[in-house]
Amino acid sequence: MRGDYTREEALSRLIHQEPNNQICITNQKVIDEHLHFVDAILLPIPSPSKEIPNADIVMQGKYYSIVELLATRLHISSLQALDIFYNSESYQRIVHRLGDLYLMSDAYIVDELMRELQKRQG
């Protein structure tokens, strides 16, 4: 591990993920001896304004769940949680499909919102 996350933070992030049989190799000798670069491909980056058909209907349900979870977690009204969500960097990343946050579980996104709020508060 490069030290990007503490062990606890890494585990808390992974709890919201579906198992997908990933392997983490932490021994440099194994990496040097057995892993070799094969090929690289350039993936297209969607423009922030690019619309994804029928996504709005699905995403509205996701937004509702996120707001309700956030309200429960912070012990605030749904309206206050809605304001926090719609004014967050996380919401901008989701709505413009910047990165893969929009693919994550609602609980994972709420965890990201909580981290964002903690960073804002200092």
Contacts of 70 (CB under 8 A, 6+ apart): 76, 81, 84, 85, 110, 113
Cα–Cα distance between 84 and 113 in angstroms, integer? 9
pTM: 0.56
Does 2 reside within a domain?
no
Does 51 reside within a domain?
yes
Does 30 reside within a domain?
yes
Under 8 Å between Cβ of 72 and 66? no
Per-residue pLDDT tens over the stretch 56-76: 777 888 999 999 999 999 999
In this prediction, the residues of the chain whose per-residue pLDDT falls under 50 are 1
- Res 1: pLDDT: 46
- Which residue range(s) make up the domain with 113? 7-121
Does 102 reside within a domain?
yes
Cα–Cα distance between 92 and 79 in angstroms, integer? 18
Does 1 reside within a domain?
no
Total count of domains within the chain = 1
